[in-house]
């Protein structure tokens, strides 16, 4: 048999139950006789076990705390060697592909050698990273994370 030889209707009407004996789905309307599931109203939850509640007690409770704060993007001091300029900020790190976006917090962590004196202006840095930057004559300045400007122009906001 091939697909185009099928005789089944594409849009078959659903069976309307509970419309009398002669309609074919009358009386109990496919629900069987008596019992909790034959009645209308509140349906049982997936964890219901006849009221004894054992299934819910068997499932381990999810412990701990999960923060909703977006973690800072990490850049190592060794990676700062790639900068020719004197200043390093979120946008220059983004242009060099060290961070995914310039509009999230960036933290400098000490790992690798740094030989260039740079002015680093980001949201955070570890104490050892600040010591490494200042030891070679550079400076660290803590700044707020830049906010992305709205793409709406003055003309569209007036309309």
DSSP 58-83: HSPP--S----SPPPEEEEGGGGGG-
Domain count, the chain: 1
Maximum separation of any 2 CA atoms in the chain, in Å: 95
Residue 45 lies in a domain: no
Range of the domain at 135: 73-142
Tens-digit pLDDT profile for residues 44-96: 887 787 777 777 778 888 889 888 988 999 999 999 999 887 899 999 999 99
Residue 21 lies in a domain: no
Of 143, 105, 112, 146, which Cα lies nearest the Cα of 128?
112
Residue 47 lies in a domain: no
Residue-level pLDDT at 108: 96
Residue 20 lies in a domain: no
Residue 59 lies in a domain: no
Residue 4 lies in a domain: no
- What span, in angstroms and rounded, lies between the C-alpha atoms of 159 and 155? 7
Residue-level pLDDT at 47: 79
CATH number (domain holding residue 112): 3.100.10.10
Distance of alpha carbon 71 from its chain centroid, rounded?
A: 12
Residue 15 lies in a domain: no
Residue 98 lies in a domain: yes
Task: Considering only residues 41 and 155, tell me which one the structure prediction assigns the higher pLDDT.
Answer: 41
């Amino acid at each position: 048999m091939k697909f185009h030889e099928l005789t089944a209707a594409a849009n078959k009407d659903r069976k309307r139950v509970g419309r009398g004996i002669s309609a074919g789905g009358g009386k109990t309307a496919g629900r069987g006789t008596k019992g909790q599931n034959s009645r209308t109203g509140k349906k049982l939850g997936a964890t219901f076990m006849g009221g004894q509640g054992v299934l819910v007690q068997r499932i381990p409770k999810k412990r701990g705390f999960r923060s909703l704060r977006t973690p800072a993007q990490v850049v190592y001091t060794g990676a700062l060697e790639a900068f020719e300029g004197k200043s390093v900020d979120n946008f220059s790190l983004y242009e060099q592909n060290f961070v995914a976006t310039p509009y999230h917090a960036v933290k400098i962590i000490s790992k690798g050698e740094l030989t260039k004196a740079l002015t680093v202006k980001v949201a955070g840095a570890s104490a050892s990273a600040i010591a490494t930057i200042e030891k070679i004559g550079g400076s660290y300045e803590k700044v707020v994370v830049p906010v992305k400007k709205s793409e709406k122009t003055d003309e569209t906001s007036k309309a």
